[in-house]
Each structure stands twice: as structure tokens, then as C-alpha cells.
């Protein structure tokens, strides 16, 4: 699996989180191609969740797509496709065309981290109140009012 | 002259006051008692779930604890007919205006039970960015039921306390 | 001819209606509906009424302090949401959890699955106009709560499964009580089948309502009972056996109709398998310690982990990043309700208004869990 990916996309970095958990690090430019390849050729068709991470020390934001599979034999395999972007202008392409189920997960990542998903059908607030006008709450420089 | 008139009208007012007291005890008090007695065994709760304590309300309304024994029906949809608002747990910033709206739409007399630590002080979520630290700022509360979540029995005790409060309400309006 | 082809959502005759958050059919949750007479043309879920910022709170607390607040979102299923968390932290810390603790985790997790499914069936009975189901299920659910209370010490929030094992040992009396409850519940489930699942009225109300095809279930990332009712055999317990699940014999129930009826029936079949697992686990319960000594503020080595378990509603997953400090750097909870939420606007199209509550509740959607 890892060899297939690196053969097709020489610029991606693959590392194993553990057995049957493959993390693929790529850039915002190539993430969609990697996603399409993972879905159609490698058989990762079942989106599990999308997470954002704020690496404030490196001034970067990370988006991770966790994709599972319903293909017999690799149900236990989880592919994590990660991309990193600068914190000042976080724009990444949406993956809704690849996995339709990513829509609400991306919407949540947008409101929690302020990451813009280009081409996303609707990026209005999903969980936060309509009148939220502070920083996106899961960014590290946002401090909870109780703390 | 002026003083005498004042004394006279003062005596008259005392007389009126005495008659008023007698009338209130003789007629008003049984009426107050009757009206509030009628209210306390027919509480209609609003169906507004705010957070996870609603599971214990479900259990309290279920067949084991059976809330109807105490004269409170299962949660009901129409606000105009409801007189009890049970705030089941955490109130978030998004829900707070809706909670106020629901309370304002209910007809008087109405009572509020704050159920769970979150609706009393914010509970476990005291340092969350989206949670209100208690609902006292939005609506007046009659009975607090602590716990996280309170057991169904604890909620039923809160209900009985509220009924005791309604029974002892000082006026005919039930407040 | 589909209604959608005929009308556009902004035509004059289309009425927009807000269902919830104060509504018996949609607690803690609002569905924006566009209606044409009795038909739903379009719908849009409006979540977030119970968003409490669990993920941000986790970054302020250490790994042990995180246990109590993490179980609150899924209060019906509190052991399962902690199970995935404990697995993740154990993996980061390289904990060798004792075998007895593994078995107790499984027992508690399956008991919680039954408690959650009973609540689901009770309310589904109410929404389908079957009052017997709510009184029976709500009453019988309390017997399982009694068992879980004897093991975990609380009615719904047990905080039982913790990193390093379980909080306390099972009392000897609970083993016998558990076996008795299993035997009694087997008979009880036959009665549910007779009165609810073979009831022609229930069939008429739920057959062919809210059909989700297999392709859509996969494409939209549906999980748990929703996916299994549509013919997708996803079950983390089978796919990737964690804890002690390899030791037990059980099946993954799958149905193919994908309608409201199938989603309820899969829940019943799930409970049958859970009873089987609990019985095997109670009989084979090994001896030994139940918890590792971790200390109040355990150090967790730096690293990242993606752990998942099969909760009552579907795949529960955690993405935990540790930077070596006592507190997690990032903790993402991937809850099954959030994964199934995208299916709702798909199903609420071209359906009658009266079918909205069964379809909504049939997804086994719990807003508190989805909002976190």
C-alpha cells in the first residue's frame, strides 16, 4: 500500500502510526489527487472523520482525513491523509467530491479552526452559535473564558 | 382641625383594613388554597430538552419511576398549556435565547426546575467557551435539583418540593 | 414523477417550518423543513444546541481528569465512549491492561449497548404510535441499569473504563445477577419481537420509509445500525478485534432493506449478540488484577494515535496527539452521530410530515453526542 502510494506520488511522505494505520502527508496542491487515488484504486471509500490540528509553534494548520474501507480484507485499515498549510491564509481544496460524507466534517473543521475549504457547498456554522465573532475556538491562541 | 380629620380617616382606614383581612381569611384564603391545590397536581412540563439530563427525565417518566403518580404528566408540546419548565442540564450560548423565548411564551403561573449541576452553576463545563454558568441570569428558578445527572428519584423529590412550594404560595395567582 | 422535479424550493406554495428545538419529535435539535402540503421538499439539520466544547476542554485537563467529562456526551452509552479513549491512551502509554480488566470492559460495554438500544427502541415505539414499546423498554432498561450500577456504581455515568484498566472489580453478586438478567432478557426479546416487530401496524408505519441505499450509506460515511441496516457489514468488533473481543463468538447482524423497520430490527439483533457476549464473558471471567497503577498525573509519551471501538450507535473514534506533557495537545472525538448526521437531509426528502420523527430517530441520532 505504502509502496503503491509513493510510486504514484513521489512527493508524499508515508509513515506508519502503527500496524494497519498509514499516515500520508501531502500538500494542499496534491491532496485531492491522493484522495481520488485512495478511493478508486486502493478502495478507501468510507470516510470516518476529519480533524484539524493547530501547530502554533510552527505557524501551521493541519487537516487530517481519516478514511476507512468497506473492501473485504482491509476493513481494519485506516488511511490518514494529512496536509499542512500556513496559519495566516489557510485555504485547502474541499474533498466533498471524493467522499460525500466529508461535507459536515469539513464544515466543523472550518468553524473550529478557520480553515477555508475551497469549493465547499456551505460553510456556515454547524455547532457554534450564529453570532460567534471571536477566534475559531480550537485554535491554540483562543483562551476559554473560564481559564 | 386637620389633625382630627386625619385621625378620623385613619380610623376608617384601619376599619377597612380589618374588614379586608377578615374577608381575605374567610373568602380569599379558601380560594387561594383551592386554586393552588388544583394547580399542584396537574403540572404540565414543557418538552424542551437542553442536554444529557433528559435521559433521566425519560427514566422518571418511564414505567419504573412513573412521574404521573405525583401529578406531573409526560412532557408536552404546546407551550400555552404548559406551566412547568424543566431545564434538563447544560444551556449553551445558542440555546439560551430560545430558552428565554420558551419561558416568555408560557402562560402565568409558571414554575422552573433547574435540573443538574450544569443548569445550576455550569457544572463540569465551567471553563467551556459555549456554556452558560447557570441559568439564573436568564430565567427565575424555583427548585434546584443537584446531581450530574440527578437520579430519577432526586428529580421526583424536586418535583414534590415544587408542589409544596405551590401549596404554600401566598397569593391567588400561584406565585 | 418526483416532487423535486416539479417544484423548486422557492415557489410560493412552499412553506418553511422549523421543527424544534422545543418539539416532542426533535429535542435538542432543529430541523428546518420546506413543505409542500404534507410533503417535505427539502430539509436542513440545525445542530449545535448542546455544543459544549469538549475538545477544547480536554486540552486544559490531564488524561485522568478527562475521563468524567468525556462520557457525558453519550450518557446512554457512557462506557463505549470511554472505551475508545482508554484504548487510545493505553496505546500511547504502552499499557499492558490485565486480562480480567479486558473482560470487564467488554461486559460493561455490551451492557451499555443494550441500555442505549433499549432507549432507542422505546422512543422509536413512541414515534411509531406504539405505546407498549415505550413502557416495556423503559421499564426493562432499568434492570440492565441495575446490573451496571452494581458494577460501576452509578445509574448512567459510570466512569468505569479508565486508562490502565477498569475503576474497580466486579462484585461477586453481580456475576450471578448478570447471568440471570441475560436469561430473562432472552425471553423478553422474544416478546418484543411478537408485540412490536411482527405487528402489522408497525410494519405499515415503517416498511419502506426513509430508505437508504447501500451505495449512499458507504458514500456518506454512515456507520453503526444505519449502515448495517443498509447492507454494509461494518463492525469494528469484527473488523479490528480490540480488547478481548477475539475470545467471544458472535455475529454481525446485517439487513438489506435500509428502511426505518430494518434500523430498529438491527438494534434488536445487536442486543441478542450482546447478551451472548455478556454471558460468555461472565462465565469465562479470568482472575487477576483489574487496574494498573498509573498515578494521578501520568506522563504520556509524545506521539499520535487513532483508536476506535464499536459503540451502540456506530464507530467511535479518537484522534489523540500527545506532546509529552500531562495534557493532550489535541483530542478529536469522532462520534457516530456526527457521522450519520449527513444522512438526515438525504432521507428527509419526498416524505410525509408524519414520517419525520421515525426517520429522524431511526438514525439513532443523539444530538448531545453529535455536538460534543
The predicted pLDDT at position C113 comes to: 92
Contact C317 A66 (CB under 8 A): yes
The answer to whether A128 touches A114, Cβ cutoff 8 Å, is no
Residue C102's Cα: distance from chain center in Å? 20
A78 lies in some domain: yes
- If one counts the domains in chain A, the total is 1
Q: What SS3 class is residue B87?
A: strand
Contact A51 C319 (CB under 8 A): yes
Contact A70 C308 (CB under 8 A): no
Of C22, C135, C156, the CB nearest to B48: C22
Q: Is A109 on the interface with C (CB under 8 A)?
A: no
**What is d(CA B159, CA B67) in angstroms, rounded to the nearest whole number?**
9
Q: Is the dihedral of CA C126, C130, C135, C137 positive or negative?
A: negative
Nearest CA to CA, how far is B94 from chain A (Å)? 5
Chain C hits for B127, CB-CB cut-off 8 Å, are 57, 60
A132 lies in some domain: no
A46 lies in some domain: yes
The predicted pLDDT at position B4 comes to: 60
Q: In chain C, which segments carry CATH 1.10.645.10?
A: 54-371
Q: Is A145 on the interface with B (CB under 8 A)?
A: yes
C neighbour chains, 3+ CB pairs within 8 Å: A, B
- Among C330, C341, C365, the strongest candidate for a mutation testing the A interface, having the largest count of A CBs within 10 A, is C330
**What is d(CA B72, CA B75) in angstroms, rounded to the nearest whole number?**
9
Q: How confident is the model at residue A118 (pLDDT cuts 50, 70, 90)?
A: confident
A53 lies in some domain: yes
Please state, in angstroms and as integers, the Cα–Cα distance from residue C173 to each residue in C107, C147, C180, following that order.
15, 10, 11
Instruction: Write the CB contacts of B2 (distance below 8 Å, at least 6 apart in sequence).
Output: none
A56 lies in some domain: yes
- Other CB atoms within 10 A of residue A58 CB: 11
Contact B54 C122 (CB under 8 A): no
* Residues belonging to chain B with any Cβ–Cβ distance to chain A shorter than 8 Å: 92-94, 122, 126-130, 133
Q: Which residues pair with A50 in a beta bridge?
A: A65
The predicted pLDDT at position C266 comes to: 92
The predicted pLDDT at position C1 comes to: 34
Of A130, A137, A147, the CB nearest to B127: A147
Which set of grid coordinates corresponds to residue C209?
Answer: 420509509
Residue with cell 423529590: B157
The answer to whether C322 touches C90, Cβ cutoff 8 Å, is no
Q: Which helix (H) or strand (E) holds B52?
A: none
Nearest CA to CA, how far is A82 from chain B (Å)? 28
A129 lies in some domain: no
Instruction: Write the CB contacts of B103 (distance below 8 Å, at least 6 apart in sequence).
Output: B85, B110, B112, B138, B139
The predicted pLDDT at position B41 comes to: 85
Q: Which of C265, C223, C273, C214 is nearest to C248 (CA)?
A: C273
A neighbour chains, 3+ CB pairs within 8 Å: B, C
Q: Is the dihedral of CA C270, C275, C281, C284 positive or negative?
A: negative
pTM (predicted TM-score): 0.87
B neighbour chains, 3+ CB pairs within 8 Å: A, C
Contact B52 C72 (CB under 8 A): yes
The predicted pLDDT at position A119 comes to: 86
The predicted pLDDT at position C3 comes to: 46
SS (H, E, C) chain C: CCHHHHCCCCCCCCEEEEECCCCCCCCCCEEEEEEECCEEEEEEEECCCCCCCHHHHHCCCCCCCHHHHHHCCCHHHHHHHHHHHHHHHHHHHCCCCCHHHHHHHHHHHHHHHHHHHHHHHHHHHHHCCCHHHHHHHHHHHHHHHHHHHHHHCCCCCCCCEECCEECCCCCHHHHHHHHHHHHHHHHHHHHHHHHHHCCHHHHHHHCCCCCCCHHHHHHCCCCHHHHHHCCCCCCHHHHCCCCCHHHCCCCCCCCCCCCHHHHHHHHHHHHHHHHHHHHHHHHHCCCCCCECCCCCCCCCCCEEEEEEEEECCEEEEEEEEECCCCCEEEEEEECHHHHHCCHHHHHCCCCEHHHHHHHHHHCCCCHHHHHC
**What is d(CA A125, CA B63) in angstroms, rounded to the nearest whole number?**
39
Contact C219 A101 (CB under 8 A): yes
The answer to whether B87 touches B60, Cβ cutoff 8 Å, is no
Q: Strand C314-322's sheet: what is its strand order?
A: C303-311, C314-322, C328-334
The predicted pLDDT at position A133 comes to: 83
The predicted pLDDT at position C185 comes to: 92
The predicted pLDDT at position A140 comes to: 86
Q: Which of C64, C116, C121, C68 is nearest to C95 (CA)?
A: C64
**What is d(CA A26, CA A30) in angstroms, rounded to the nearest whole number?**
7
**What is d(CA A16, CA A50) in angstroms, rounded to the nearest whole number?**
18
- B75 preceded by a cis bond (ω within 30 of 0): no
> Chain-wide mean pLDDT for chain A?
85
- Tell me, what CATH number does A38's domain have? 3.30.460.80
Contact A144 C371 (CB under 8 A): no
The upper half-sphere exposure of residue C123, i.e. CA atoms within 13 Å in the direction of its Cβ, equals: 24
Domain hosting residue A21, numbered range: 2-118
The predicted pLDDT at position C5 comes to: 45
**What is d(CA C352, CA B85) in angstroms, rounded to the nearest whole number?**
31
Q: Is C239 on the interface with A (CB under 8 A)?
A: yes
- Note the pLDDT tens digit of each residue in C78-108: 888 899 999 998 888 888 888 889 999 999 9
Q: Would you write out chain C's pLDDT as a tens digit for each of its 372 residues?
A: 344 444 555 567 788 888 877 776 667 888 888 888 888 888 888 888 888 888 888 888 888 888 888 888 888 888 888 999 999 988 888 888 888 899 999 999 999 999 999 999 988 888 888 888 888 988 899 999 999 989 888 888 888 898 888 888 888 888 888 999 999 999 999 999 988 888 888 888 888 888 888 888 888 888 889 999 998 888 888 888 888 888 888 888 999 888 899 999 999 999 999 999 999 999 988 888 888 888 777 888 888 899 889 888 888 999 999 888 888 898 999 889 888 888 888 888 888 888 888 888 888 888 888 888
- Note the pLDDT tens digit of each residue in B47-77: 777 788 888 888 888 888 888 888 887 766 6
Which set of grid coordinates corresponds to residue B115?
Answer: 435540573
CATH number for C54-371 (one of 2.60.40.1530, 1.10.645.10, 1.20.20.10, 3.30.70.520): it is: 1.10.645.10
Which set of grid coordinates corresponds to residue C201?
Answer: 401496524
Q: Which of C367, C45, A106, A112 is nearest to B129 (CA)?
A: A112
Nearest CA to CA, how far is A29 from chain B (Å)? 34
Q: Is A51 on the interface with C (CB under 8 A)?
A: yes
The predicted pLDDT at position C277 comes to: 92
- Which regions in chain B score pLDDT beneath 50? none
The predicted pLDDT at position C2 comes to: 44
Nearest CA to CA, how far is B122 from chain A (Å)? 11
A40 lies in some domain: yes
Amino acid at each position: 500500500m505504502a509502496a503503491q502510494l509513493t510510486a504514484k506520488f513521489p512527493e508524499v511522505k508515508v509513515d506508519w502510526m502503527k500496524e494497519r494505520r498509514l499516515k500520508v502527508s501531502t500538500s494542499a496542491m496534491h491532496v485531492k489527487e491522493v484522495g481520488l487515488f485512495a478511493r478508486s484504486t486502493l478502495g478507501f471509500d468510507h470516510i470516518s472523520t476529519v480533524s484539524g490540528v493547530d501547530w502554533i509553534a510552527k505557524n501551521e494548520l493541519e487537516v487530517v482525513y481519516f478514511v476507512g474501507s468497506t473492501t473485504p480484507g482491509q476493513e481494519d485499515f485506516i488511511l490518514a491523509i494529512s496536509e499542512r498549510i500556513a496559519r495566516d491564509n489557510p485555504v485547502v481544496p474541499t474533498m466533498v467530491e471524493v467522499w460525500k460524507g466529508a461535507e459536515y466534517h469539513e464544515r466543523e473543521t472550518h468553524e473550529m479552526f478557520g480553515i477555508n475549504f475551497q469549493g465547499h457547498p456551505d460553510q456556515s456554522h454547524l455547532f457554534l452559535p450564529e453570532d460567534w465573532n471571536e477566534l475559531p475556538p480550537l485554535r491554540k491562541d483562543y483562551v476559554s473564558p473560564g481559564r | 382641625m386637620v389633625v382630627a380629620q386625619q385621625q378620623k380617616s385613619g380610623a376608617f382606614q384601619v376599619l377597612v383594613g380589618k374588614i379586608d383581612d377578615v374577608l381575605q381569611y374567610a373568602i380569599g384564603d379558601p380560594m387561594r388554597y383551592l386554586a393552588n391545590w388544583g394547580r399542584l397536581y396537574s403540572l404540565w412540563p414543557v418538552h424542551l430538552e437542553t442536554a444529557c439530563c433528559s435521559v433521566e427525565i425519560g427514566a422518571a417518566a418511564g414505567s419504573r419511576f412513573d412521574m404521573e403518580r405525583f401529578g406531573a404528566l409526560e412532557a408536552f408540546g404546546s407551550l400555552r398549556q404548559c406551566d412547568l419548565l424543566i431545564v434538563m442540564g447544560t444551556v449553551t450560548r445558542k440555546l439560551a435565547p430560545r430558552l428565554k423565548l420558551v419561558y416568555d411564551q408560557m402562560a402565568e403561573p409558571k414554575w422552573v426546575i433547574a435540573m443538574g449541576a450544569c443548569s445550576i452553576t455550569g457544572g463540569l463545563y465551567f471553563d467551556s467557551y459555549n456554556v452558560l454558568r447557570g441559568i439564573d441570569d436568564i430565567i427565575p428558578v424555583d427548585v434546584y435539583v443537584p446531581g450530574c445527572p440527578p437520579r430519577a428519584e432526586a428529580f421526583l423529590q424536586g418535583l414534590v418540593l415544587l408542589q409544596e412550594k405551590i401549596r404554600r404560595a401566598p397569593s391567588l395567582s400561584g406565585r | 414523477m418526483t416532487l423535486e422535479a416539479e417544484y423548486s424550493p422557492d415557489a410560493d406554495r412552499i412553506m418553511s417550518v422549523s421543527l424544534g428545538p422545543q418539539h416532542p419529535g426533535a429535542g435538542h435539535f432543529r430541523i428546518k423543513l420546506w413543505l409542500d402540503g404534507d410533503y417535505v421538499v427539502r430539509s436542513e439539520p440545525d445542530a449545535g444546541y448542546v455544543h459544549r466544547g469538549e475538545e477544547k476542554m480536554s486540552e486544559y485537563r490531564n488524561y485522568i481528569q478527562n475521563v468524567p467529562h468525556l462520557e457525558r456526551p453519550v450518557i446512554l452509552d457512557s462506557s463505549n465512549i470511554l472505551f475508545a479513549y482508554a484504548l487510545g491512551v493505553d496505546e500511547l502509554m504502552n499499557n499492558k491492561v490485565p486480562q480480567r480488566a479486558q473482560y470487564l470492559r467488554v461486559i460493561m460495554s455490551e451492557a451499555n449497548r443494550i441500555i442505549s438500544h433499549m432507549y432507542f427502541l422505546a422512543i422509536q415505539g413512541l414515534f411509531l404510535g406504539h405505546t407498549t414499546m415505550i413502557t416495556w423498554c423503559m421499564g426493562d432498561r432499568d434492570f440492565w441499569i441495575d446490573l451496571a450500577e452494581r458494577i460501576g456504581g452509578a445509574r448512567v455515568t459510570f466512569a468505569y473504563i479508565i486508562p490502565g484498566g477498569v475503576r474497580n472489580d466486579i462484585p461477586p453478586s453481580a456475576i450471578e445477577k448478570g447471568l440471570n438478567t441475560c436469561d430473562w432478557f432472552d425471553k423478553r426479546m422474544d416478546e418484543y419481537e411478537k408485540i412490536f416487530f411482527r405487528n402489522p401496524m408497525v410494519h405499515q408505519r415503517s416498511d419502506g420509509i426513509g430508505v437508504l441505499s447501500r451505495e449512499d450509506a458507504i458514500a456518506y460515511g454512515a456507520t453503526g445500525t444505519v449502515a448495517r441496516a443498509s447492507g454494509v457489514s461494518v463492525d469494528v468488533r469484527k473488523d479490528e478485534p480490540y480488547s478481548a473481543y477475539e475470545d467471544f463468538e458472535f455475529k454481525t447482524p446485517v439487513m438489506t432493506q435500509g428502511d426505518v423497520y430494518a434500523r430498529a430490527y438491527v438494534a434488536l439483533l445487536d442486543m441478542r449478540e450482546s447478551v451472548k457476549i455478556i454471558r460468555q464473558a461472565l462465565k469465562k471471567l479470568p482472575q487477576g488484577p483489574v487496574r494498573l497503577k498509573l498515578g494521578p498525573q501520568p506522563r504520556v509519551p509524545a506521539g499520535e494515535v487513532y483508536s476506535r471501538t464499536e459503540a451502540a450507535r456506530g464507530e467511535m473514534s479518537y484522534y489523540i496527539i500527545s506532546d509529552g506533557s500531562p495534557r493532550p495537545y489535541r483530542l478529536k472525538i469522532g462520534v457516530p452521530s456526527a457521522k450519520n448526521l449527513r444522512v438526515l437531509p438525504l432521507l428527509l426528502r419526498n416524505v410525509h410530515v408524519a414520517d419525520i420523527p421515525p426517520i429522524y430517530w431511526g438514525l439513532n441520532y443523539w444530538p448531545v453526542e453529535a455536538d460534543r
